[in-house]
Each structure stands twice: as C-alpha cells, then as structure tokens.
C-alpha cells in the first residue's frame, strides 16, 4: 500500500492533520505521522518505507533521500523550499512540490500584527505611533507580499513594492507604487517588509548599506528567512543607528547580540507566520491532494525541481 508520511517537527493544527488523513485514506493510501521529532534519526527511520512525504520547514537532505528507498514525492506544505536539497531529490528521481499561496494570508496578518506591536512600543503603555500614512516598502510581490499590501492599505498605509521578477504594471494594478530597485525601496520606506525567498542570490543580501539607507526611525520586518540577512552587518548598523528597529519571525543565529538592542529588536521564539489552523489546513490539504494527484494521475503542477 502507498504510504504517506507527515513529518513535522513543528506540527500542523489538529484539524489539518484530520483533513490530510481523510484525503490520504480516501485515496486508499496509508498515513504515517511523525510529529515533534527531536532527532534526525527519527526522520531517517520514518522515511525508510514511505512513498511520499509532507513536510513544513523540515530538512530533506541527501542523507534523508538515501534512507527513503521508495520515495517518489516530497511536498513542502508551504511556500519556501530552501529546506529541500533539490539537486539530491532530482538525482534520486524524487519530485518536489510546494503549495504556493496557501499560508500567505496568515504570514501577512502576522506582519501587520507585529507592526502594530512595534509602533506601540511593544505594548509598554508609552505613547507610540500609528501605521496610517506611513510608507511601507514590500520587498518581493509574491503571494505574501500581495496580501501584506492588501491589509496595509486597509490601515491607510502608503504602499510601495519592488520585485525583480514581477512587472511594475502588475504591482501598480494592485494599487501599489512600483519602484525601480531594492535600493530605492529602502530609501523611500519608513518600514520595509521582506518577502524574498532564501536563494544563493538573496542570502545575506539585506546588508548594512541597504538598511542603513532607510530614513530616521526606520523599521525592518522579516517574516521571510533569516538567511537573507547579513547578521554581522545589521548588528553593526543597529549599534550605530539607534533610531532603527529590527523585527523578525525567524530568530537570528546571533539572537543574543540582537537582544542587546532593547526596545529596538523583537523576535518570535519560533517561526509562527504560518501557524494558524487555517493556513495549516489550506497548506496541508493542498499537499495531500497534490500527492494523490501525482501518484494516481502523474500530475506535476507545483513541481519545483523540473
């Protein structure tokens, strides 16, 4: 029987797991659950005889792929797939997919929630400021960036965006001002929200010169990936520019150093952008359906290792 493993170090909400189970069992497959695992060995053992895997930010590297002798497909229930070794997967004839857009609203809502929390001084009771009328720069206008724009406009923010892969007219059609470069986006914005994936091109690209070009009182908010930040340079900048703030949903490697910037730095303890019942259900069910579609009918929509 076709076996589908859900391997989630950070588990889905219970209704999402129930929905996934339903789809998998209705297809005549068997569901295997590995949640909250703490050792890689647990993952290596669990993958040994499965045909398909659903993951979140769980790492699928060459060692995992070597251990998964029957594996045909891995679906990352979410957007970013930097946690999967695509080359190794292709070499093992394993199809890799993501579920783009399914958790985007959840991440976008967190962005605005964190921004309110930040401009109100982390709810310490002192007079803060409002988001209305502030310039928000969205770096990358994908599913999350578009949702951030939609909600930010509801707050009355003045929204700008830059996306190297999205034409300006698409950005403008969403009622957002398109700027010509990421440099311009940082210069024009009071707040910059990052929505770029972690790729060889973007890793460490958010550096001192970019963030340092922000206006007085600038806020950088990161709900994307920690890898896109040049941490040593950002630490240096925060020490020099005591007006800047860094807010993140992905705890930096150098969290202890950032934590010294009291009142100007905040990190969630564990990435929680996509941690809602709705996002888990949307992404989890999409992943289960994509696995059934691939195994039964060879559907490869959303494959990322073509």
Residues engaged in binding ligand 3PG (CB under 6 A):
10, 56-57, 78-80, 103, 271, 273-274
Nearer to ligand 3PG, 134 or 226 (CB): 226
Q: Are 265 and 245 in contact (CB under 8 A)?
A: yes
CB 10, min distance to ligand 3PG, A: 6
CB 46, min distance to ligand 3PG, A: 18
CB 278, min distance to ligand 3PG, A: 13
Nearer to ligand 3PG, 218 or 273 (CB): 273
CB 177, min distance to ligand 3PG, A: 26
Q: Are 247 and 221 in contact (CB under 8 A)?
A: yes
Residue 93 to residue 182: CA distance in whole angstroms: 37
Burial class (CB in 10 A: 0-12, 13-18, 19+), 256: exposed
Residue 262 to residue 51: CA distance in whole angstroms: 48
Nearer to ligand 3PG, 55 or 238 (CB): 55
Residue 184 to residue 135: CA distance in whole angstroms: 13
Nearer to ligand 3PG, 151 or 168 (CB): 151
Nearer to ligand 3PG, 30 or 82 (CB): 82
Residue 223 to residue 272: CA distance in whole angstroms: 9
CB 212, min distance to ligand 3PG, A: 26
CB 291, min distance to ligand 3PG, A: 17
| φ/ψ bin of 143: left (φ > 0), alpha (ψ from -120 to 50), beta (otherwise) | alpha
User: Which residue do the tokens 């460490």 mark?
Assistant: 204
Residue 152 has φ and ψ, to the nearest 5°, of -60, -35
Q: How many residues does the chain have?
A: 306
Nearer to ligand 3PG, 214 or 250 (CB): 250
Nearer to ligand 3PG, 11 or 212 (CB): 11
Task: State how far the alpha carbon of 296 is from the alpha carbons of 240, 289, 291, in Å.
Answer: 58, 10, 8
CB 63, min distance to ligand 3PG, A: 20
CB 185, min distance to ligand 3PG, A: 21
Count of beta carbons in the 10 Å neighbourhood of residue 183: 13
Give the residue closest to ligand 3PG by C-beta: 78
Residue 159 to residue 35: CA distance in whole angstroms: 39
Q: Write the DSSP symbol of residue 303.
A: B
User: Which residue do the tokens 């251990």 mark?
Assistant: 67
Nearer to ligand 3PG, 57 or 193 (CB): 57
């Amino acid at each position: 029987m076709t076996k589908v493993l859900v391997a989630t170090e950070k588990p889905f909400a219970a209704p999402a797991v129930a929905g996934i189970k339903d789809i998998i069992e209705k297809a005549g497959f068997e569901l295997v659950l590995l949640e909250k695992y703490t050792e890689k060995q647990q993952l290596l053992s669990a993958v040994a005889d499965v045909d398909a895997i659903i993951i979140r930010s769980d790492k699928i590297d060459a060692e995992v792929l070597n251990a998964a002798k029957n594996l045909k497909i891995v679906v990352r229930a979410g957007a970013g797939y930097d946690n999967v070794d695509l080359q190794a997967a292709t070499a093992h004839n394993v199809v890799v997919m993501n579920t783009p857009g399914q958790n985007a609203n959840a991440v976008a809502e967190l962005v605005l929630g964190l921004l309110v929390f930040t401009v109100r001084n982390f709810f310490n009771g002192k007079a803060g400021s409002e988001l209305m009328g502030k310039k928000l720069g969205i770096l990358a206008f994908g599913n999350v960036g578009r949702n951030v724009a939609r909600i930010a406009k509801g707050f009355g923010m003045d929204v700008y965006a830059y996306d190297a892969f999205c034409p300006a007219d698409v950005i403008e059609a969403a009622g957002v001002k398109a700027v010509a470069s990421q440099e311009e986006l940082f210069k024009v914005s009071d707040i910059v929200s990052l929505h770029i994936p972690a790729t060889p091109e973007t890793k460490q690209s958010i550096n001192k010169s970019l963030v340092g070009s922000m206006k007085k009182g600038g806020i950088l908010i990161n709900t994307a990936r920690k890898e896109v930040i040049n941490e040593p340079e950002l630490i240096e900048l925060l020490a020099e520019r005591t007006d800047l703030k860094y807010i993140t949903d992905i705890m930096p490697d150098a969290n202890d150093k950032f934590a010294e910037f009291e009142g100007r730095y905040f990190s969630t303890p564990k990435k929680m952008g996509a941690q809602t019942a709705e996002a888990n259900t949307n992404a989890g069910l999409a992943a289960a359906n994509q696995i059934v579609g691939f195994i039964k009918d060879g559907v490869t929509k959303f494959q990322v290792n073509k």
